[in-house]
């Protein structure tokens, strides 16, 4: 699947359904159950490798898992891969070199974290044929500065996030992930943009939703507030995935209990 096909679903007022994915087997299962976006997230550092943060993840890891997911998806889903910490922050040229490696591995788009400071890199990438998903709110790669806390509660920070979102769109970003921000702020950002927003802990007003697969399957010892165990009471993983897809498409997830 390519970006125009994905955006057409949004134009048809369909909610986008995304999940993290790290291997070929789950890629096939997610595609078979109508998941639109397979996010090869640097969250693999925590849920696959056992680290406390995403920071130890390297480009070789992201390429390896992107290749596996691409083989499993076999062109039937949109593959979004995170640029890992240290692979893009230094300069737009370095960001392009890293992104090119991930596209060659099978990604359809790359994701990077950060607001105004990333505008130049987003413009550089998109001008050279690299689709970009931006990421605002809680930034896992900045955990040493912010911790794992919701963002955007302070009016000044909220206003900055609104400005950053507009700037990233103007620079060429085609998608925007909003993580752990108040639902009312996510609605303001979403309503002010032409590009789709994908929420995770950002309330029900985004154009789509994403979860970490292991959270959905009830495998996380202390899941985040915004997660829901769709495996509870399900007859198997396929049923849990179908429950999630249906809940997102119908606007039943996330609920107030999953929002800030």
Q: Which residues are catalytic?
A: 179
Q: How many CB atoms lie within 10 A of CB 76?
A: 14
Q: What does residue 73 show for φ and ψ, rounded to 5 degrees?
A: -75, -30
What is the signed CA dihedral for 59, 141, 189, 12, rounded to 10 degrees?
A: 30
Q: Rounded distance, CA 30 to CA 16, Å? A: 13
Sign (positive or negative) of CA dihedral 85, 90, 95, 101: negative
| Residue 91 three-state SS | coil
Q: Rounded distance, CA 150 to CA 181, Å? A: 6
């Amino acid at each position: 699947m390519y970006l125009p096909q994905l955006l057409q679903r949004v134009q048809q007022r369909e909610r986008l359904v995304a999940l993290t994915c790290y291997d070929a087997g789950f890629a096939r299962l997610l595609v078979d159950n109508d998941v639109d976006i397979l996010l090869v997230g640097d969250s693999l550092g925590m849920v696959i490798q056992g680290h406390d943060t995403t920071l130890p993840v390297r480009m070789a890891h992201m390429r390896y898992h992107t290749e596996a997911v691409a083989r499993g998806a076999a062109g039937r889903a949109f593959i979004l891969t995170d640029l890992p910490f240290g692979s893009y922050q230094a300069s737009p040229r370095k960001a392009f070199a890293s992104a090119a490696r991930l596209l060659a591995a099978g990604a359809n788009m790359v994701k990077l974290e950060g607001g105004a400071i990333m505008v130049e890199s987003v413009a550089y990438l998109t001008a050279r044929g690299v689709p970009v998903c931006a990421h605002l709110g809680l930034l896992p790669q900045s955990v040493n500065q912010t911790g794992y806390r919701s963002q955007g509660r302070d009016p000044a920070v909220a206003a900055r996030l609104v400005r950053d979102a507009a700037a990233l769109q103007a620079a060429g970003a085609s998608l925007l992930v909003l993580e752990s921000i108040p639902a009312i702020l996510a609605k303001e950002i979403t309503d002010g943009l032409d590009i789709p927003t994908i929420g995770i802990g950002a309330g029900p007003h985004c154009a789509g939703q994403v979860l970490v697969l292991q959270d959905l399957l009830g495998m996380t010892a202390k899941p985040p507030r915004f997660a829901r165990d769709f495996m509870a009471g399900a007859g198997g993983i396929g049923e849990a995935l179908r429950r999630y897809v249906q809940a997102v498409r119908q606007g039943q997830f996330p609920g107030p209990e999953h929002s800030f």
